[in-house]
Structure 1
Amino acid sequence: MYGIVANTILLNIEGFIVLPKFVVSQSSADLRRQARVAVYAIGGNALSDPTSRKSSKEVLEKVMDDIINLLEAGYRLLITHGNGPQVGDLLMLEETCLIERTRVGLDEWVAATQGMIGHTLSLNLERHLSKKHRPERTAVVLTRVEVDEGDIAFAAPTKPVGPILDEDTIARMDWDVATTAHGARRVVPSPKPLRVLDLEVINSLLELNAVVICAGGGGIPVVMDGTPRGVAAVIDKDRVSALLACDLKADLLVFSTGVDAVRRDFGLESEEVIHEMDVDLAQSLLNEGQLPAGSMGPKVEAMIEARINSETVNIVLCQPGDVLGAVRGDCGTRLL
């Protein structure tokens, strides 16, 4: 019996799998031998720098190298990605171009970025897979994630989106704005993810040996009123990545970000690189304000959540290109 994988696998609007071009990949026995699953979370800033509005092509190439290296190490791979810069740019475009038309909901813009970024990642990854003569193909899944409409996040927006804002833009737009490490950015609600509605579809695609790109931008935020209903929010993709890793019983969870490791006293003379930490140390760093919201804080919170819900998953944080070194313990930060 053979596993069938599409050249590019997409879901249509009804949720059915569309397989436009088939190739025979590996036997079921091969898939069982390659049973380890890795979740690789790409930061949105790896795809677009909010300080420059330019795509970070060099960083993206390192991300692709990480993905290929994990595949060659025997992992089946699920990729998540952020969308903060991209969804913010779309919101700004809507505000500046809107005259007399119906506004698009934030959940719909999240869905749009899932398609756009998923397409970009798929094209790049297909090119690398072909160069390495790998049998896998990509699957881009529009992913809905349930949240609680009563979540306190809706009253206290914290998620930075879009570019750095100048004073004129801040004064002109009726937005919630917060100061980040790079400057002022718009912030939107970021509720806690409760459940990935499309988990069974994602798992089925992994079993087909597809490289699954899903939960982009943290997933499309929905509440359940009998059926899903979109709400205005951007879920933190690191929290969703942790949720997926636990639900899928993944062996490896990678947070790929713009810094090489977690650090204490960042930017001070007493700065210390932390290569290993347990949950107690991670929580104390958060409590001390060492890991601010909008940067490293949510990533370490997601690492803690993953460890609390799974004793076996290997959890590492590293910069793009360092994944194998982080797995070996040579670089990055590992949560014990």
Structure 2
Amino acid sequence: MGGRVLIALGGNAMTAPDGSASPADQHRAIGEAMTHVASLIGAGHEVVLTHGNGPQVGNILLKNQLTAHVVPPVPLDWCVAQTQGTLATLMMNALERATAPQGVRVAAVVTRTLVDAADPAFADPVKPIGQYFPEAEARRFESQGQTWRRFPRGWRRVVASPDPVEILDAPAAIALMEAGYTVVAAGGGGVPLVRGADGTLRGVEAVVDKDLAAAALARAVGATDLVIATDVPNALIGYGTPGARPIEAVTVRELRELRDAGHFASGSMGPKVEAALRFAGDGGRRAVITSLEHIGEALSGNIGTRVSRGVER
């Protein structure tokens, strides 16, 4: 079963198992991830890639804070654009190595994502980013216009996470795909922009959820399938309880009912489930949530949480 497959890689594909994001760790992790992507390409699928960037943006923000007295801090939309360039370069190099016998060509698009300036998320920023700090430091950053909240491990900056409205540079990604490239796009959810009354675009202090952006990108580029790679083989019902069990083949209606019953945490599996629902519910052939090492099998076997309008059991 061929087709155009969008693969959304989570943070575990970009860092060491303990979350370390040193350059050496990122090289190793991305090299491993691209071997799994190469297996899908080898099976005849046309692949589009997107990725998270949480640890990398966190590192840039920390540099901002530590060097603010020497170098002017850069806004959050700039940070997202910087991580897109860095991670895409690593992914392009690693995927070309992994597919050398096939001569696969890889290209990246620095991608902008349109959000609505009236999105309620701007009035209630809840997305945590960056490092934990003591309260005194958090209060100092608050005086600079940032929003910080207390978490069990300390204080952390929170920003708005508005819904993606449009992947603005999807046409560029499509043009590259039609020219024969495997494309990396919309990394970190895309650079968040709003459109002013005069039609011009400007960046905003926000982050777009990577999985929701992946669903929007998948629709925009005409993907037949969406594979969301994470660190567990399946989404679970009753996570953290003795009765926890994996979700395997499921319809959009069934998964929506489970979501509405509160089975998926907003900070972890929730966005992945929502992205799968949006993609499959809007006409996509199948959305799969599974672990990184299984993405090569995700479209050929009974692997992962498989979401469709009807179910193949």
TM-score, structure 2 normalization? 0.87
Residue 94 of structure 1 pairs with residue 64 of structure 2: yes
After the TM superposition, which residues 100-179 of structure 1 pair with which residues of structure 2 at under 5 Å, given as runs?
101-130=71-100, 133-163=101-131, 170=138, 173-174=141-142, 175-177=147-149, 179=151
Q: Which residue of 2 aligns with 1:66?
A: 36
The range that moved more, 301-310 or 94-103, is 94-103
The DSSP-based 3-state class of the residue aligned with 1:221 is strand
- AA aligned to 1:187 is V
Unaligned runs of 5+ in 2: 309-313
Query: Contact between 2:27 and 2:90, CA under 8 Å: does it hold in 1?
Result: no
- AA aligned to 1:109 is C
Query: For each residue in 1:309-334, what CA deviation from the matched residue of structure 2 results, as whole angstroms up to 9, or x when unmatched?
Result: 11x42210111120233223422110
Unaligned runs of 5+ in 1: 1-33
Q: Which residue of 2 aligns with 1:201?
A: 172
The DSSP-based 3-state class of the residue aligned with 1:241 is helix
The DSSP-based 3-state class of the residue aligned with 1:162 is strand
After the TM superposition, which residues 1-336 of structure 1 pair with which residues of structure 2 at under 5 Å, given as runs?
36-48=3-15, 52-54=19-21, 55=25, 59-99=29-69, 101-130=71-100, 133-163=101-131, 170=138, 173-174=141-142, 175-177=147-149, 179=151, 185-225=156-196, 226-310=199-283, 312-336=284-308
**CA 1:94–1:213 in structure 2 vs 1: closer, same or farther (change >3 Å)?**
same
Q: Distance in 1 between matches of 2:275 and 2:94?
A: 27
For residue 302 of structure 1, report the CA deviation from its aligned partner.
0.8
**CA 1:97–1:115 in structure 2 vs 1: closer, same or farther (change >3 Å)?**
same
For residue 145 of structure 1, report the CA deviation from its aligned partner.
1.0
Query: Contact between 2:133 and 2:155, CA under 8 Å: does it hold in 1?
Result: yes
Query: Contact between 1:53 and 1:163, CA under 8 Å: does it hold in 2?
Result: no
**CA 1:94–1:51 in structure 2 vs 1: closer, same or farther (change >3 Å)?**
farther
**CA 1:50–1:234 in structure 2 vs 1: closer, same or farther (change >3 Å)?**
farther
- AA aligned to 1:151 is D
- AA aligned to 2:124 is A
Q: Distance in 1 between matches of 2:259 and 2:137?
A: 32
Query: For each residue in 1:133-169, what CA deviation from the matched residue of structure 2 results, as whole angstroms up to 9, or x when unmatched?
Result: 1122110110011110111111222333234556676
Q: Distance in 1 between matches of 2:109 and 2:201?
A: 17
Query: Contact between 2:12 and 2:19, CA under 8 Å: does it hold in 1?
Result: no
For residue 196 of structure 1, report the CA deviation from its aligned partner.
1.3
Q: Which residue of 1 aligns with 2:311?
A: none
Q: Distance in 1 between matches of 2:17 and 2:149?
A: 15
The DSSP-based 3-state class of the residue aligned with 1:322 is helix
- Please tell me the root mean square deviation across aligned C-alpha atoms, in Å: 2.5
Q: Distance in 2 between matches of 1:321 and 1:94?
A: 35
Q: Distance in 2 between matches of 1:285 and 1:195?
A: 27
**CA 1:57–1:332 in structure 2 vs 1: closer, same or farther (change >3 Å)?**
farther
Q: Distance in 1 between matches of 2:268 and 2:91?
A: 23
Query: Contact between 1:88 and 1:186, CA under 8 Å: does it hold in 2?
Result: no
For residue 56 of structure 1, report the CA deviation from its aligned partner.
5.8
Q: Distance in 2 between matches of 1:44 and 1:161?
A: 13
Query: For each residue in 1:240-260, what CA deviation from the matched residue of structure 2 results, as whole angstroms up to 9, or x when unmatched?
Result: 111121122212110001111
Q: Distance in 2 between matches of 1:319 and 1:266?
A: 16
**CA 1:334–1:202 in structure 2 vs 1: closer, same or farther (change >3 Å)?**
same
Query: Contact between 1:145 and 1:197, CA under 8 Å: does it hold in 2?
Result: yes
Q: Calculate percent identity across the aligned residue pairs.
A: 35
Query: Contact between 1:50 and 1:162, CA under 8 Å: does it hold in 2?
Result: no
**CA 1:39–1:88 in structure 2 vs 1: closer, same or farther (change >3 Å)?**
same
Q: Distance in 1 between matches of 2:78 and 2:48?
A: 23
